[in-house]
């Protein structure tokens, strides 16, 4: 059954167990996947199509097994194509209890067997995700500031949308930066937006975080000494840490799931600039999936401390960075 993506939140989703999300708008897909996971109140397990097709018996054992701790299973299968259609159809016919499966596909042609099956079967939900346009991004931005109760002009919103390059994920990143730096403000003017969303003005912060993640202690020390960072910069810096750590987690997770570095780095969104690939390769050498998960937890704790002790927040942040740059970490 086909539904439009904006109708998904109103859908009585508890009556459905099989969903196909397809299209280029990965950020929007991720939003609705997270919404469904939250509504189901269950942890999610992520597979890639090639993993399942390589050993279907193990997959069927996984979805049929009962766990004392997890009664319900939510499984996300990424990069799905027509190759998995027969297997999914078999899963549906077997009527497993307390099982939800979300297929996350790239573009599927109209003649796709997988897409056709999900569109026509009344037990399943098929949701297309097309690229955003300036109008949808403007509304997303406007709704964001209304929710935060922050005053902002239409001119400033247009500037934010323009600098997101038509990508929802880029827009979300910009809004995170704005919220991080302007969390105490009730009104934001266009000068604030120009300062925060100007990529060149944030270059030093990005370089600072990348240097720390690459564990280059000497360069980290030079950047800190050469730039006049202040307490006001700390939230933006720690949020930049969080964004880059999440990116590392995506890449390291793919590598540990038998992707080589090149295929792992080209598959993530937003895309990595070619000039950053070698730097990320150095970072991946130090940050396994387990270490990156722990790093993200520490980043969140550090952000709490920065907000709680704002007057000494720069000192707290510098201590955090020099702790992370240690080779033994």
Token couple for 48: 């890639």
Residue 66 has pLDDT above 70, yes or no: no
Mean per-residue pLDDT for 290-311?
94
Rama region for 120: left / alpha / beta (φ>0; ψ in -120 to 50; rest): alpha
* pLDDT of 226: 78
Residue 284 has pLDDT above 80, yes or no: yes
Pairing of strands 73-78, 124-129: unpaired
CB 44 within 8 A of CB 76: yes
Q: Collect all residues with Cβ–Cβ distance below 8 Å to 164 and sequence separation of at least 6.
A: 137, 170, 171, 173, 174
Give the least confident one: 31-35, 79-83, 127-131, 178-182: 178-182
Over residues 135-153, the pLDDT tens digits come to 899 999 999 999 988 899 9
Over residues 44-60, the pLDDT tens digits come to 888 999 999 998 998 99
Over residues 194-214, the pLDDT tens digits come to 777 654 444 478 889 999 999
* pLDDT of 328: 62
Q: Which CATH class is domain 134-197?
A: mainly alpha
Token couple for 109: 């042609």
**Closest CA relative to residue 276, chosen from 307, 284, 123:** 284
Token couple for 316: 């707290």
Domain chopping of the chain, boundaries:
5-129, 134-197, 203-324
Q: Tokens 């920065």 label which residue? A: 306
Q: For the chain, give the mean pLDDT.
A: 86
Q: Collect all residues with Cβ–Cβ distance below 8 Å to 104 and sequence separation of at least 6.
A: 21, 22, 29, 33, 76, 77, 78, 79, 80
User: Which CATH topology does 5-129 take?
Assistant: Rossmann fold (3.40.50)
As separate numbers, helices (DSSP H) first and strands (DSSP E) second, the chain gives 16, 5
Per-position DSSP letters for 164-218, written without gaps between them: TTT-HHHHHHHHHHHHHHSTT-SB--HHHHHHHH-TTTTHHHHHHHHHHHTT-HH
CA 81 to chain centre: 22
More confident residue, 183 or 318: 318
CB 197 within 8 A of CB 163: yes
Q: Which CATH class is domain 203-324?
A: mainly alpha
**Closest CA relative to residue 219, chosen from 304, 175, 279:** 279
Token couple for 254: 């793919």
* pLDDT of 232: 81
CB 253 within 8 A of CB 287: no
* pLDDT of 238: 93
Mean per-residue pLDDT for 71-95?
92
Measure the CA–CA gap between 266 and 269, rounded to whole angstroms: 8
**Closest CA relative to residue 13, chosen from 128, 127, 164:** 127
């Amino acid at each position: 059954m086909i539904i439009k993506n904006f109708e998904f939140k109103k859908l009585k989703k508890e009556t459905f167990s099989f969903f196909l999300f397809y299209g280029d708008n990965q950020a929007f897909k991720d939003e609705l996947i997270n919404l469904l996971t939250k509504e189901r109140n269950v942890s999610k397990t992520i597979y890639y199509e090639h993993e399942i097709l390589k050993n279907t018996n193990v997959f069927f054992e996984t979805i049929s097994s009962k766990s004392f701790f997890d009664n319900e299973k939510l499984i996300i299968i990424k990069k799905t194509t027509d190759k998995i259609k027969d297997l999914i159809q078999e899963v549906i016919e077997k009527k497993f209890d307390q099982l939800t499966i979300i297929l996350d596909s790239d573009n599927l042609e109209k003649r796709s067997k997988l897409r056709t099956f999900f569109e026509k079967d009344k037990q399943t939900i098929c949701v297309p995700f097309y690229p955003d346009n300036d109008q949808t991004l403007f509304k997303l931005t406007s709704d964001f500031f209304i929710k935060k109760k922050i005053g902002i002009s239409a001119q400033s919103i247009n500037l934010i949308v323009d600098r997101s390059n038509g990508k929802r994920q880029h827009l979300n990143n910009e809004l995170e930066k704005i919220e991080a730096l302007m969390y105490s403000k009730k009104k934001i003017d266009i000068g604030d937006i120009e300062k925060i969303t100007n990529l060149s003005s944030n270059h030093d912060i990005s370089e600072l975080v990348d240097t720390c993640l690459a564990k280059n202690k000497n360069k980290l020390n030079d950047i800190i000494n050469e730039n006049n960072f202040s307490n006001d910069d700390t939230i933006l810096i720690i949020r930049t840490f969080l964004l880059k750590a999440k990116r590392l987690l995506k890449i390291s997770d793919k590598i540990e799931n038998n992707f080589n570095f090149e295929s792992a780095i080209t598959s993530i969104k937003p895309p990595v600039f070619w000039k950053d690939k070698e730097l990320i390769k150095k970072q991946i050498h130090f940050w396994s999936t387990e270490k990156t998960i722990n790093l993200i937890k520490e980043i969140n704790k550090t952000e709490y401390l920065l907000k709680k002790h704002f007057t000494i927040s720069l000192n707290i942040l510098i201590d955090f960075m020099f702790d992370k740059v240690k080779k033994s970490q």
